[in-house]
Structure 1
Amino acid sequence: MKVGDLNVQPVWDGDARVRARDVLTPPGGDEAHWECNAEHFTAAGEFEMALGGFLIRTGDQVVLVDAGLGPLSARGFHGGHLLDSLTALGVRPADVTDVLLTHLHGDHTGWTALEDRPVFPNATYRCHAADWHHFVDGPQPDRRTAAKLAPITGQVELFDTDLTLAPGIDARHTPGHTPGSTIFVVSSGQHRALLLGDVAHSPVELLDAGWETVYDTDSPAAQAARARLIDEIESDGTPVASPHFAGLRFGRVLAGTTSRRWLYLDH
């Protein structure tokens, strides 16, 4: 996806498939929403998600946004391809200068460290302080996440305000999915695009903010964040992507007379 002079490239790690009704609840519990949005699910009622991240070369920095699931297969989630995908883009682990984490769930941190070593030895790992406190060093940390991220502790830089992290890449705190969930705004000249993390897992969540997902830490806050986001991207046509959207593709929310529509972009 070209954003002005910047190129945002998908970095595929794998795929996931779960029963949609196990993880999503339609607005107001109205069953009609399933039929209206059937195109976003399989004929068997499954929710297919990509796993991975995005690569951006900007200035002298090689930036990876989110680090996939890692070489794991469990409960319908299958990863393991991110490093091969980077190789196909001409990038070695040692080339990556920055790893920006939208949040600290395991399907976004899988390739941060392996075998007690950082996967990206020369990178600075950056995430919002609220997520680090929630998952790693707070009063009730998630032990699995804390153990996973322990090898990168010396390379972590936390932020607690919206700021520029690299030329053309800005962090926007968007809590709800997790306390520190962050959207990364990519901009160049008059062009911009948003990397959403899990502010939305599926385009259906951008068509109606009333959808709920079991993955959100604070559902009301997550819905409010999506509502604000929808208003923004519907009004100005900003392209957005999540590492869970099909093919890690960007798309736009289009206003309609009675309902919104989602349009995937070809480039």
Structure 2
Amino acid sequence: MEQIELGNITITRVREYYGSVEMTPDTFFPEIPKELWADNAPLLTPHFLEPGTNIVNSAIQTWLLRSEGRTILVDTGVGNHKERPVLDRDIVVNTHLHIDHVGWNTYLDGRSWVPTFPNATYLIPKDDFDFWNPENGHKPLLGRGNQNVFEDSVAPVHQAGQTLLWAGTHQIDAGLRLDAAPGHTPGSSVLTLTSGPDRAVFVGDLLHNPMQILEPDANSCFCEDPSGARATRRRVLGWAADHNALVIPAHLGGHGAAEVVRDGNKFAIKGWSPFSPFTEQD
């Protein structure tokens, strides 16, 4: 099952890639002691850690929401240069502007990058727009890893007049709200869903692996502001635990999302979402 309903909002999981990221846990998450990976092997293998190889598995996926008669995409993956039929959307949410969250913002039409969704509004955090704009001269941690991404996946939709650069908070509709969640990048954001009795939070790259639920102070190697990322992760996971909200990261393989509970000054996984787990054979 790749679709669930929370209140009046339908969520569909759209897969782009699942498998190895060719990084070991100590490289991807240098702040997590090596022995904790072994201690939690039953939780992590095979969906989040390749058995026998000590290589991290991850997913690249888009979340498609239907709410109040509109269709909303949360992050647009890596993308490529192939032309494809233009399937229109009402709103595109980029939780932040890393390469693997904006790829299908645009597609290559001849020699030009053009918006994939010509009638959509692209909701982009202003702090990330300013940070990644090469005209501003910032020196990001990711360096060449995000090279040309602003030029081919962000600037074209902005030049087309389709962006809404927001800051602080932005209410999409009665059940969906964007909030600043800085740390991973200066403009990282989360999308909170509140509909009927149900709650969820799309956390982007706030966490990449279940170990960051168990060890909330552990950053990935890609966090621009380590202390800010830790504070934001604890705040958002605390809200999710207190409100029985489904935590939906951008890159979690397996069932893709989890319910969390407080565990002393850390957190634990209470259960997984009903989404079908990705496997290598999918």
Matched residues in 2 for 1:96 and 1:265: separation? 25
Moved over 6 A (4+): none
Query: Using a 3 Å threshold, how does the CA distance of structure 1 residues 179 and 216 change in structure 2: closer, same or farther?
Result: same
Q: Distance in 2 between matches of 1:150 and 1:143?
A: 13
Residue of structure 2 aligned with 1:222, choices 221, 229, 232: 229
The change in CA–CA distance for 1:94 and 1:208 in structure 2 (over 3 A counts) is same
Equivalent of residue 35 in structure 1, options 38, 42, 51: 38
- Indicate how the Cα distance of structure 1 residues 168 and 93 shifts in structure 2: closer, same or farther if over 3 A, else same: farther
Gaps of 5+ in 1: 73-79, 84-91
1:2-21 equivalences in 2 (<5 Å): 2-18=5-21, 19=23, 20-21=25-26
Maintained 8 Å contact 2:18/2:253: no
Counterpart position of 1:89? none
Q: CA deviation at 1:16?
A: 4.6
> 1:259, CA displacement in angstroms?
6.9
Partner of 1:131: 128
- CA displacement 1:148-184 (0-9 Å, x = unmatched): 2221112111101212123411001100000110100
Q: Give RMSD over aligned pairs.
A: 2.3
* Matched AA of 2:162: Q
2:50 partner SS: coil
Shift in alpha-carbon separation, 1:248–1:55, aligned structure 2, 3 A: farther
Unaligned runs of 5+ in 2: 139-145, 276-282
Counterparts in 2 of 1:44-83, with a 5 A limit? 44-71=53-80
Contact 1:12 1:248 in 2 (8 A): no
Partner letter of residue 49 of structure 1? S
Q: Which range moved further: 171-180 or 1-10?
A: 1-10
Matches within 5 A, 1:139-218: 139-140=136-137, 144-148=148-152, 149-153=154-158, 154-218=161-225
SS in 2 for 1:56: strand
* Contact 1:26–1:33 (8 Å) recurs in 2: no
Cα separation, 1, equivalents of 2:78 and 2:247 = 21
Give, in whole Å, the separation in 1 of the partners of 2:266 and 2:174: 36
Question: How many residues are paired up?
Answer: 248
TM-score computed with the length of structure 2 as normaliser: 0.80
Identity of aligned residues (%): 25
Deviations 1:167-214 (A, max 9, x none): 411001100000110100112123211001001111211222121211
